[in-house]
Each structure stands twice: as C-alpha cells, then as structure tokens.
Amino acid sequence: MKKREMLLRDLRLSRRDIAYLKYILEGYEGLATVTTTHRGEPAVRLSIAPDFSSDVDGILEALQGEIEMCEIGGGERK
C-alpha cells in the first residue's frame, strides 16, 4: 500500500483568529490539522490530506470574509 503524502500550507493571520481557524478546520474531522509555528509571528501550518485539498481551499476561501489571512508558503509535501 502506497503511503499518501500530506500537503503543507503556511498561513499568517491575526493571533485572535488562530483558535477560530483551528476550531473550524478541525470540525471537519480528517481534512486537515492546524499547528502554530514558532517564527515570532502569528502563523499556522496546515497539514492537509491530499484528497481534501480542494475542500480546504473552499473553506479558506469562505473564511476570507471573516478572517484576514495570507499564505506565506506551502504547497510542500511531507
């Protein structure tokens, strides 16, 4: 059985929005996990299951009206 690689995306957002983003994404169990990064800035790393990449894109696009965030890296495979 071939092991599937996770897609990694790094996002910068306000500190107050990190918990909200984590709550929303982890509510969709199995789509993605959210971890904070230690770069001295409010940022998170999303580890996305490859089959759900478009679903996560849709959720992030819908959240753009509520949360100001920008991608600071990503598209990497783990």
Sequence-distant (6+) residues with CB within 8 A of 41 are 12
Helix (H) or strand (E) holding 56: helix 53-63
Its pTM stands at 0.82
Which tokens belong to 50? 């490859």
With a cut of 70, list the residues of the chain below it in pLDDT. Answer: 1-4, 39, 74-78
**Predicted confidence (pLDDT) per residue in 29-48, tens digit:** 889 999 998 767 889 999 99
Q: Report how far residue 59's alpha carbon sits from residue 52's, in angstroms, rounded to the nearest whole number.
A: 11
Q: Report how far residue 45's alpha carbon sits from residue 34's, in angstroms, rounded to the nearest whole number.
A: 6
